């Protein structure tokens, strides 16, 4: 393992050795609730990615592995983050380590995807890091059988993170007329001028466990709003704590 960044007892470093990569694979198994014998990212795959020029970053709380992220090089000064998972409060130093690695290779952007119905991840990606949602991918992975996504459709929001500029998230309180209603009977989307807002459930993971059919209805209704918005050149720029995305369209696009 190569030395990385350290803050108090939190340490982030790149992982190269077989044992360290096996621990990362086990961590991903625990997060996605799969048997450790069938991890979403096996250690041998992680080793191959590192050998090919990618990077596996791990964050430690003291000596305990508390999160990890995997990134690979992309085309035209870009990088792609394949997966990231960390305990609360440790995702930020992990992503900053990824950013420093990518910038050191001359990359200007990093891209990744996440489940648009998971509001806490949206707040982290959009508000904390300052990435922007740039595309909506319908059932991106097809059927998934892990303990988190099983039984749902795997829609993902693709984001782009500008590594050369400070974070500049943009959110505004929902206003304007209700465009459509959500499965719970409340407003799903509002629109005013060059702004559009879309609401997601407060805890889709709990909802999916309690009522998979209702969670799927949310998935498809939110999908419809986002697909229409991207056809009109909206970008996703923020997420409120009460579950409202802010989508914004520039004057040039309008």
pLDDT per residue as tens digits for the range 109-146? 999 999 999 999 999 999 999 999 999 999 999 987 77
Question: Crossing angle, helix 18-31 and helix 43-51, to 10 degrees?
Answer: 120
Tell me: do 116 and 98 sit in the same domain: no
CA geometry: angle 194, 166, 83, nearest 5 deg: 90
Residues 201 and 252 in one domain: yes
Distance CA 10, CA 67 (A): 11
Domain end call among 48, 82, 107: 107
CB under 8 Å to 8, separation ≥6 — which residues?
none
Please count the structural domains in the chain. 2
From 2-16, 51-65, 170-184, the region with the lowest mean pLDDT: 2-16
8 and 90, same domain (yes or no): yes
- At residue 186, φ and ψ (nearest 5 deg) are -85, 180
Through-space distance between the first and last CA atoms of the chain, rounded to whole angstroms: 49
- pLDDT > 70 fraction of the chain, expressed in percent and rounded: 95
pLDDT at 5: 52
pLDDT score, position 2: 40
Q: Is the domain of 168 the same as that of 235?
A: yes
Residues 6+ apart with CB under 8 A from 88: none
- Residues 114, 92, single domain; the answer is no
Q: What is the Cα 29 distance to its own chain's centre?
A: 18
- 39 and 139 in one domain? no
Shared domain check, 133 and 100: no
Same domain, 71 and 128: no
Residues 55 and 160 in one domain: no
Q: Tell me how far apart the alpha carbons of residues 223 and 65 are, in angstroms, rounded to a whole number.
A: 35
pLDDT value of residue 54: 97
Same-domain status, 77 and 150: no
Q: In which band, very low, low, confident or very high, does the pLDDT at 3 lie, cut at 50, 70 and 90? A: very low
| Domain CATH number, residue 92 | 3.40.630.30
Question: What is the per-residue pLDDT across 30-73, written as a single tens digit (0 to 9) for each?
Answer: 999 999 999 999 999 999 999 999 999 999 999 999 999 999 99
Dist. CA 107–CA 240, nearest whole Å: 30
pLDDT of residue 170: 87
Final residue of a structural domain among 64, 91, 107: 107
Q: Which of 107, 136, 166 is the last residue of a domain?
A: 107
Q: Would you state the pLDDT for residue 143?
A: 82
Q: Three-state SS string across the chain, please?
A: CEEEEEECCEEEEECCCHHHHHHHHHHHHHHCCCCCCCCCCCHHHHHHHHHCCCEEEEEEECCEEEEEEEEEECCCCEEEEEEEEECCCCHHHHHHHHHHHHHHCCCCEEEEEECCCCHHHHHHHHHHCCCEEEEEECCCCCCCCCCCCCCCCCCEEEEEEECCCCCCCCCCCCCCCEEEECCCCCEEEEEECCEEEEECCCCHHHHHHHCHHHHHHHHHHHHHHHHHHHHCCCEEEEECCCCEEEEECCCCCC
98 and 120 both lie in a single domain: no
Assess whether 116 and 146 both reside in one domain. Answer: yes
* Residues of the domain holding 93: 1-107
**Token output for 244:** 């409202």
């Amino acid at each position: 393992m190569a030395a990385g960044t350290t803050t108090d007892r939190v340490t982030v470093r790149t992982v190269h050795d077989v044992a360290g990569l096996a621990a990362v694979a086990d961590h991903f198994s625990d997060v996605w609730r799969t048997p450790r014998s069938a991890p979403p990212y096996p250690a041998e795959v992680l080793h191959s990615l590192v050998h090919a020029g990618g990077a596996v970053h791990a964050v430690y709380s003291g000596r305990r592995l508390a999160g990890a992220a995997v990134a690979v090089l992309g085309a035209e000064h870009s990088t792609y983050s394949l997966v990231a998972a960390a305990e609360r409060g440790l995702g930020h130093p992990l992503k900053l380590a990824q950013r420093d690695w990518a910038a050191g290779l001359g990359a200007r952007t990093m891209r990744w995807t996440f489940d648009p119905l998971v509001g806490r991840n949206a707040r982290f990606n959009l508000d904390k890091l300052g990435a922007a949602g740039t595309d909506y991918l319908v059932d991106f992975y097809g059927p998934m059988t892990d303990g988190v996504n099983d039984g749902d459709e795997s829609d993902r929001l693709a984001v782009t993170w500008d590594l050369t500029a400070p974070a500049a998230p943009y959110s505004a309180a929902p206003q304007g007329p209700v465009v459509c209603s959500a499965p719970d009977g409340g407003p799903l989307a509002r629109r005013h001028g060059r702004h559009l807002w879309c609401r997601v459930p407060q805890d889709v993971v709990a909802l999916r466990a309690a009522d998979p059919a209702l969670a799927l209805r949310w998935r498809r209704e939110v999908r419809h709003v986002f697909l229409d918005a991207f056809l009109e050149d909206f970008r996703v720029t923020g997420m409120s704590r009460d579950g409202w995305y802010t989508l914004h369209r520039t004057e040039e696009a309008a």
